[in-house]
Amino acid sequence: MHPPLSLIWFFLTAGTSIGLFTFTYFMEFLTLWGKNTALPKHMVVFSSLLSLVLIGLGAVGASFHLGHKLRAWKAIRRFRTSWLSREAVFSGAYGLSLLIFLALRYYDVTGFLYHAVGILTFLLGWLGAFSTAMIYASNKFVLEWNTSLTVLYFLDMYLMLGSSAFLAMTYHYDPRWVGTYVFLTFLFVTLGLFFRLAFNIRQAFLKRPTLNEALNLPHNRPIRVLDTGTTTTNYCTEEFYYRKGKELLPITIPIAYILTFVVPIFLLLYVWISGKNQYAFYAVTFASLLVGSLLERWSFFVEGNHVQNLFYGLYPEEGYKLRKGFMEWKKTKITYR
């Protein structure tokens, strides 16, 4: 699939926003249970303001993915059936709720209303994140994405970005929590590494459909594409198959692994073992995660293969060997209408 840069931009900004707010409010939420975790007011205000700016920038960037921007309001009309519509509704509501939360903290309203809005903002943010992940995971025509791993990994990446951003912020405002967030960031990045490895390993064992199955013919009938039906490239061949991106994957995926997982894990382990508590390590950890996530999302799109590519001879063929035995027994059925 062709990687849309506007959606990658939305992932990075919305992911950092929701992740950062999650940990900021989580510390405030614990005070309800008598814990001494309240953050300085200026830290909560700055973190919430940064989260609000990021989700706003994400919404602006995502609008470039729309064909007709003046019809963007129609995206919310299919809430009952469309994950895209739910993403738009929940993300918009999250931004509005976050603005109210920021105003309440700025004017020192920290009672029931403050926490009620904080919990609502938290829920709306993660409902929006889940809806975004389900847009890909529910797509049955791109088998690489059609798995619960897509959702788990997607949500964990939000936690990776949020915990690393919070780690760098708490170093300045409230150093008590540096050790805790070094551990949490390490935990989420390690989980992300396992999810990504599982995602890539799964691709090697995917039972892909073949051209024979698409035409309802058994596999012992050799079939190959002679004519794609078009003399030039078109929307289908360009948007659903990114040839240049496929050629770059052997380079981008290893770099994404290094920047997203290897560098942050190494830095966090070094801080943990050596006890050298320096801001530069946390800043580099977040920057490395951010750039690595950009490359990882780019690779995620390019790795996806839409089944319509079968008819253009651009689809992987591994599925033939895996299901050959079953398809040999399938009878040819031809119907006339």
Q: Which amino acid is at 210?
A: T
Residue 139: C-alpha distances to residues 98, 107, 132, 144, 308 (Å): 30, 45, 12, 9, 13
Sorted by where each begins, the domain ranges of the chain are: 5-64+73-218+238-312
The answer on pLDDT for 326 being more than 80 is no
pLDDT for position 207:
83
Angle CA(189)–CA(89)–CA(80) in degrees, nearest 5?
105
67 vs 333: CA distance, rounded Å: 41
Place of tokens 């496929």: 246
Kindly report, residue by residue over 119-172, the tens digit of the pLDDT: 999 999 999 999 999 999 999 999 999 999 999 999 999 999 999 999 999 998
87 vs 75: CA distance, rounded Å: 9
Q: Which of 99, 127, 109, 118 is nearest to 27 (CA)?
A: 118
Question: What is the torsional sign of CA 151, 152, 158, 160?
Answer: negative
Kindly report, residue by residue over 197-236, the tens digit of the pLDDT: 999 999 888 888 888 888 888 777 777 777 776 677 778 8
248 vs 337: CA distance, rounded Å: 45
Place of tokens 């931004």: 95
Q: Which amino acid is at 115?
A: H
CB atoms within 10 A of CB 268: 23
Q: What is the pTM of this model?
A: 0.89
Cβ contact 103:116 at 8 Å: no
pLDDT bucket at 294, cuts 50 / 70 / 90: very high
**Phi, then psi, of 188 in degrees rounded to 5:** -70, -35
Residue 242's Cβ-side half-sphere holds a number of Cα atoms within 13 Å equal to: 16
Name beta bridge partners: 142.
306
135 vs 130: CA distance, rounded Å: 9
**In the structure encoding, which two tokens stand for residue 18, read together?**
């929701």
Q: Which of 167, 200, 114 is nearest to 278 (CA)?
A: 167
Mean pLDDT of the chain: 88
pLDDT for position 210:
81
Superfamily of domain 5-64+73-218+238-312: Formate dehydrogenase/DMSO reductase domain (1.20.1630.10)
Q: What is the DSSP string of 218-232?
A: -TTS----S--S-SS
Q: What is the mean pLDDT of residues 72-93?
A: 86
Is the pLDDT higher at 308 or at 219? 308
pLDDT for position 242:
87
Q: What is the mean pLDDT of residues 39-48?
A: 94
Kindly report, residue by residue over 88-130, the tens digit of the pLDDT: 999 999 999 999 999 999 999 988 999 999 999 999 999 999 9
Angle formed by the axes of helices 83-106 and 112-137, to 10°? 160
Q: Which amino acid is at 75?
A: A
